[in-house]
Amino acid sequence: MGAIEVENVSKRYGNCQALEQVSLDIQAGEIYGLIGPDGAGKTTLFRILVTLLLPDNGSARVEGLDVVKDFMAIRRHIGYMPGRFSLYQDLTVAENLDFFATMFGTTITENYENIREIYSQIEPFRDRRAGKLSGGMKQKLALCCALVHRPSVLFLDEPTTGVDAVSRKDFWNMLYRIRESGVTILVSTPYMDEASLCDRISLIQKGHLIETGTPAAIVAQYPHRLFGVSGKPAYPLLKFLRRCPDLLRCFSFGSEHHVAVEPGTISPEQLQARIQAEGFSDVVVREIEPNIEDCFMELAKEERQES
């Protein structure tokens, strides 16, 4: 039995289909990532699973308990960290933690071991108001509040949004340690680079799951060759690449453009020569390994063409 089982769940707001026939099977003790852009339906799925919303169709179980029928029982087993910082800004760090501990029928001292590692980092600021904490510290406090009652399933909705790179790395290390104690973690993120940190992921787009699997397996399924192209000036280069009919797709990716080509049609050297002939300077074209974002773009495009 999985820790979280979702079967054909649909949810509609007015004429906006937030989720359509979503199914998931998440094993106990894994970090499962829900990857997708803003508005893909991640938060809706989270809210259904933490019993805050009712699905229109389909069913879902958390720890074998039905999210509709047994919602009160589920609420004792789960920890939830909503997307926005949702603690009391006018209460101090200690007061917030104490409040949420009491609400779940426990105390900080009783479960101190469970949160010690994270809480020790913010404990020096225990008398500071939560509203005056930095983004990274707020996130740690929110995680403490979600963990203080020893949940067996942890729902983290975009926990790293708005957090700096170093704190994000810290955060993922914390998640790995939490997983070691047997907690199942469902985490959503719009950052594709965090996808590879999960045990398994689902890519979600416009309410559909477009792919599910381990990050490595998803990357391995990428059907094209991928070149990283850089050159100056960057934006005209992108426009030029998009005009070439033999290149499949082209996306700007930081300082590089990622260009997908059909295997066997064009080599990096040929492409480099063609770009240089157009008068671009500092041109570098190299073959690269696709990452999750490339896969997402590819899959999202296929999905759009199908529908």
In whole angstroms, what is the distance from residue 39 CA to residue 246 CA?
32
Cβ 105 to another protein shortest distance, Å: 7
If you search the block for the tokens 């949160």, which residue do you land on?
A: 115
In angstroms, the Cα distances linking 67 to 5, 27, 268 are 10, 17, 52
Q: Which residues pair with 187 in a beta bridge?
A: 33, 156
- Using the rule CB under 8 A, which residue among 27, 64, 69, 88 binds another protein? 88
In whole angstroms, what is the distance from residue 122 CA to residue 137 CA?
7
In whole angstroms, what is the distance from residue 274 CA to residue 207 CA?
40
User: Cis peptide before 190, with omega less than 30 degrees from 0?
Assistant: no
In whole angstroms, what is the distance from residue 14 CA to residue 168 CA?
36
Applying CB under 8 A, does 80 fall inside the site for another protein?
Answer: yes
Q: What angle do CA 34, 36, 37 make, to 5 degrees?
A: 145
Cβ 143 to another protein shortest distance, Å: 13
Cβ 88 to another protein shortest distance, Å: 6
Applying CB under 8 A, does 85 fall inside the site for another protein?
Answer: yes
If you search the block for the tokens 């063609």, which residue do you land on?
A: 274
**Size, binding site for another protein by CB under 8 A:** 30
Sheet holding 225-232, edge to edge: 249-253, 256-261, 225-232, 281-287
Applying CB under 8 A, does 210 fall inside the site for another protein?
Answer: no
Cβ proximity to another protein, 26 vs 74, nearer residue: 74
Structure tokens at 264: 């066997």
Residues between 242 and 301 that touch another protein (CB under 8 A): none
Cβ proximity to another protein, 67 vs 250, nearer residue: 67
Residues between 90 and 149 that touch another protein (CB under 8 A): 90-91, 95, 98-100, 102-105, 145
- Using the rule CB under 8 A, which residue among 18, 78, 195, 292 binds another protein? 78
- Using the rule CB under 8 A, which residue among 51, 114, 139, 272 binds another protein? 51
Cβ proximity to another protein, 119 vs 296, nearer residue: 119
The residues that touch another protein, with contacts defined as CB under 8 A, are 47, 50-54, 71-72, 75-76, 78, 80, 82, 84-91, 95, 98-100, 102-105, 145
